[in-house]
């Protein structure tokens, strides 16, 4: 194994704490610097973790930094990524990859031309939950897959997030915020999507920040808050997906795969390691499945570590920019189909990522 890749993080907001908690577990990643528009916050975080606090400009050109971990808001993802790539650095970012495919395409093309990597969350699909479900599916235990059903819902992120306004702007909403977890899992299970249709809605409910120093502040809503989609995969499987910021309570199944000989209850893809259950045609009773695949004890950042290992061994990385681009086109097409009341054929495709064998990340090397 070669030396670790040096990481510079841009954006030390809410999600960054989960990355900071996991980075010490990943010996092929070495955090060297952080940056944020809030320089006081960046300085505080840097001191806590024993690294340098830099300006965004200085971090992007710092010769020590091999990979920029981009944890900015969605509207800034591509701008930061392109600047990092231009400085000769690999990029790994939070989801969504970009606001639009038109915005994302030059980034993917530039990286390919420059011989650099683009990776993107979610990497939850690399944990034992989704990977065990994939192992069950691939083993044929439920026969041939026919369809899948996804339901994710909540009243809205303003009930818990101290600064939730960006969730209601372009690049946010239940589809662009939560959809990538489910859509990335669906592509991991069944391969690329070729055609989508959808319906969208936006309620007139007034929303205000519920917690923190901005409590009581009104939130303008510029996105669709309830989305239902039908996805046709290239292998013939049909997935139905509903995501919503309009549901106060539900008994709907979260994620299920239906096959000719049984059903898989897929764990929450926003988590890494929940239990998989299977009911087969033999008894139609639910049975928990032993963990069979995936990175054990994983957390946010394992996708970046997988990318670092892939760079070292010259193989494709799993949480790739190409996969995130395909997921972005799915979401973009669903919204367009919902507004235009039509069916959209997708133009992008992607290979199904390689499965993850059971083990911790270093042991899996």
Radius of gyration (C-alpha) of the chain in whole angstroms: 20
pLDDT, the chain, mean:
96
Map tokens 């979260």 to a residue: 254
d(CA 188, CA 190): 6
Rounded to an integer, the average pLDDT of 258-274 is: 97
d(CA 56, CA 71): 12
Percentage with pLDDT > 70 across the chain: 98
Rounded to an integer, the average pLDDT of 187-198 is: 98
Level-2 CATH architecture, domain 5-120: 3-Layer(aba) Sandwich (3.40)
Strand pairing class (226-233; 193-201) = antiparallel
365 or 189, higher pLDDT: 189
Burial class (CB within 10 angstroms; exposed 0-12, middle 13-18, buried 19+) of 102: exposed
- The domain spans of the chain are 5-120, 125-289
- 132 pLDDT exceeds 70? yes
d(CA 276, CA 290): 8
Q: What is the pLDDT of residue 365?
A: 57
d(CA 36, CA 55): 7
Digit-coded pLDDT (tens) for 102-117: 999 999 999 999 999 9
Q: What is the pLDDT of residue 158?
A: 96
- 184 pLDDT exceeds 50? yes
- Pick among 1.20.58.410, 3.30.360.10, 3.40.190.10, 3.90.1150.10: CATH of 125-289: 3.30.360.10
Rounded to an integer, the average pLDDT of 125-150 is: 98
Digit-coded pLDDT (tens) for 52-86: 999 999 999 999 999 999 999 999 999 999 999 99
Task: Return the biggest CA–CA distance within the chain.
Answer: 62
Handedness of CA 73, 78, 81, 86 (dihedral sign): negative
Q: What is the pLDDT of residue 1?
A: 43
Percentage with pLDDT > 90 across the chain: 96
Digit-coded pLDDT (tens) for 230-242: 999 999 999 999 9
Digit-coded pLDDT (tens) for 221-232: 999 999 999 999
């Amino acid at each position: 194994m070669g030396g670790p890749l040096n990481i510079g993080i841009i954006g030390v907001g809410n999600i960054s704490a989960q990355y900071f908690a996991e980075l010490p577990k990943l010996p092929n990643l070495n955090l060297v610097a952080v940056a944020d528009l809030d320089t006081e916050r960046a300085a505080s975080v840097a001191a806590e973790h024993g690294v340098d606090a830099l300006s965004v400009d200085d971090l992007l050109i710092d010769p020590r930094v091999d990979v920029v971990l981009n944890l900015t808001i969605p509207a800034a993802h591509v701008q930061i990524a392109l600047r990092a790539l231009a400085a000769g650095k690999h990029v790994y970012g939070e989801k969504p990859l970009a606001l639009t495919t038109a915005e994302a395409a030059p980034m993917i093309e530039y990286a390919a031309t420059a011989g650099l990597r683009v990776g993107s969350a979610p990497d939850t699909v690399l944990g034992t939950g989704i990977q065990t479900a994939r192992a069950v599916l691939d083993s044929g235990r439920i026969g041939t897959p026919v369809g899948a059903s996804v339901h994710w819902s909540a009243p809205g992120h303003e009930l818990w997030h101290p600064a939730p306004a960006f969730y209601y702007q372009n690049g946010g909403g239940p589809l662009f915020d939560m959809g990538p977890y489910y859509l990335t899992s669906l592509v991991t299970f069944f391969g690329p999507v070729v055609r989508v249709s959808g319906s969208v809605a936006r309620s007139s409910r007034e929303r205000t920040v519920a917690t923190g120093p901005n409590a009581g502040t009104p939130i303008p809503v510029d996105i669709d808050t309830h989305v239902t989609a039908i996805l046709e995969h290239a292998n013939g499987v049909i997935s139905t997906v509903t995501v919503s910021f309009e549901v106060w309570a539900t008994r709907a199944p979260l994620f299920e795969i239906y096959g000719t000989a049984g059903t898989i209850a897929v764990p929450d893809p926003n988590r890494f390691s929940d239990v998989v259950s299977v009911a087969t045609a033999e008894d139609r009773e639910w049975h928990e499945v032993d963990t069979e695949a995936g990175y054990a004890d994983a957390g946010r950042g394992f996708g970046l570590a997988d990318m670092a290992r892939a760079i070292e061994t010259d193989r494709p990385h799993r949480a790739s920019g190409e996969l995130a681009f395909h997921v972005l086109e799915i979401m973009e097409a669903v919204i367009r189909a919902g507004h235009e009341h039509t069916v959209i054929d997708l133009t992008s495709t992607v290979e199904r990522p390689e499965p993850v064998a059971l083990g911790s990340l270093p042991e899996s090397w």
